[in-house]
Amino acid sequence: MRARTADATSASAGVTRKPFAWTFTAPLYVGSSLNPINSSIIATALVPIATEMNVAVGATAVLVSSLYLASAVAQPTAGKPAEVLGARRVFLAGIVLVLLGGVVGSLGQNLAMLTVARVLIGLGTSAGFPCAMVMIRRRAEQVGLDQPPGGVLGGLAIAGMATAAIGPPIGGLLVGAAGWRWAFLVNIPVTAIALVMALRLPKDPPLESANSGLRQVARRIDLTGIIGFAGTMTSLVVFLMALPDIQWAALIVFVAAAIPTAWWELRRNAPFFDLRGLASNGALTRTYLRQALTLLGVYSVMFGLTQWMQASYGLSALQTGLMLLPMGAVSALLSRPLARRNLVRGPMIVSALTMLLGSAGIVLLGSDSPAIALVLVTLIFGVTSATSTVGNQTALYQTAPADQIGTASGLFRTFGYLGTITSSVIGGIVFRDGAGDHGLHILGLVLVAAGVAVLLLTVLDRGLMRHRKATT
């Protein structure tokens, strides 16, 4: 008994001395990076997959949309079980799903099998960020930390946004050297390492026997609300991805799912999707909107501008991927030092201004522009990416209720995916007749308008001013 007490005391003392040691943070960073890397690494594999599978290149777009759809639904869905059942348990389950998706994709013989693999990867990677936020928040509360752990959140920012920019060049190198299957195979060694590291994370408290039955678990996580949310989000994403064509069936399903889901959630004391809490917490809602609008801009550069680089500027897929490296490098270099200071309003203003500047730069680009102009635009959006991710992520930590941080973090990522999906919709519309200069200039004007909206959501947000005073 004394030995057990001594061990517990020693462990507690270790946590207090160094609460965010690398053994705690490293698996969280790796787990959180799996989703953005997998979101972008597939881009360079689509043409080789279409060639080998003997299908149209356009048909392989399902490999992109399936992961987006699975992630948009699963990120907040993973957050709720993390709050109720234990973040470590859900985190480990997610890693196993990614490993399974990597195996299935590497053995895939047809497009359907690859789509199943991408869905598994989307579901598994969705556990990373919300589970990490739950564990970080609980560790901070355990050691009595009042302010957000800026350095740790900065690491998550790098793992989340900055790694997305290195996906295309990594994918280009892997696919070019070893074939398209490595877009899936790369998950196997990475998840194996992540799994070994994650097993060292602090164990979740044991589940109470009275609350461990299937019916009790379903009630505690609000399974009905999760199913309703999944149906609502799925139909919404399908509708958005079909634009400019109107998918009436998806719109009808969206309305049919959204109304009863809202009715159900408003009647529950502890809903999965807290509509009343979201309506009353304006600061959190504005954080979601800023995230969606900013990622609309960043991903328009990652996908829209890169499409123009290949079609009109004449760059190869590998050269185009390398053009994005400055954006990823700037994001990585700026994220951590900014996050350490727990700043919100300042980085968000910089994010809005650089988004406006970069968008204006896109309007001025042309097929005869010097390569340095393209690099400058990606560098500017690298600053946008870093400042937006850091500012919004810190605002999320500060404004989300402590007992709902997992679900709130998942919704944060879901709004980001809505921005990403909208960027692909806008790109499809402006480049409908080809990825030429005219379409690029229209895209730039749309992003200027989005930048103005982000600026207004920032400078008029009194909640950000309160956070600034609290952290200075």
Q: Are residues 243 and 288 in the same domain?
A: no
Exposure string of 270-284, with b = 16+ CB inside 10 Å and e = fewer, is ebbbbeebeeebebb
Taking residue 409's Cβ as centre, other Cβ atoms within 10 Å add up to 28
Q: Is residue 185 part of a domain?
A: yes
Say if 73 falls within a structural domain.
Answer: yes
pLDDT tens figures, 186-221? 889 989 999 999 998 888 877 665 455 676 767 777
> 170: how many CB neighbours lie within 10 A of its CB?
18
Q: Render pLDDT for 398-427 as a digit per residue (tens, 0 to 9).
A: 888 877 888 888 888 888 888 888 887 888
Q: What's the total number of domains in the chain? A: 2
Q: Taking the model in full, what pTM does it have? A: 0.78
Alpha-helical segments (H) within 42-61 = 46-53
Per-residue model confidence as pLDDT tens digits over 311-334: 788 877 667 767 777 777 787 778
327 Cβ contact partners less than 8 Å away, ≥ 6 residues apart: 165, 301, 302, 378, 379, 381, 382, 385
Residue 6 lies in a domain: no
Is residue 319 domain-shared with residue 189, that is, in the same domain?
yes
If asked whether residues 149 and 237 sit together in one domain, one would say no
Residue-level length of the chain:
472
> Which of the listed residues 254, 270, 286 is the one where a domain comes to its end?
270
Q: Clarify whether residues 118 and 226 are in a common domain.
A: no
- Report d(CA 162, CA 132) in Å as an integer: 17
Is the residue at 254 inside a domain? yes
CB 399 within 8 Å of CB 47: no
Tokens of 37: 């890397």
Whether 347 is in a domain gets the answer yes
Whether residue 325 is found in the same domain as residue 383:
yes
Q: Could you tell me if 358 and 427 lie in one domain?
A: yes
Assess whether 284 and 341 both reside in one domain: yes
Residues 6+ apart with CB under 8 A from 440: 304, 305, 308, 312, 362, 365, 430
- If you write DSSP's letter for every residue of 168-197 in order, what string do you get? HHHHHHHHHHH-TTHHHHTHHHHHHHHHHH
Q: For residues 299 and 231, state if they share a domain.
A: no
How far apart CA 124 and CA 374 sit, in angstroms, is: 35
Give, as one character, the DSSP assignment of residue 161: I
Are 58 and 136 in a shared domain?
Answer: yes
Give the mean pLDDT of the chain: 81
Give the model's pLDDT for residue 11.
44
Do 326 and 265 fall within a single domain? no
Would 415 be classed as within a structural domain? yes
Residue ranges making up the domain that contains 33: 20-201+214-221+272-471
Q: Are residues 253 and 195 in the same domain?
A: no
Max Cα distance, the chain (Å): 77
Structure tokens of 408? 């709130």
Instruction: Establish if 209 belongs to a structural domain.
Output: no
CATH number of the domain that 343 lies in? 1.20.1250.20
- pLDDT for the residue 39: 76
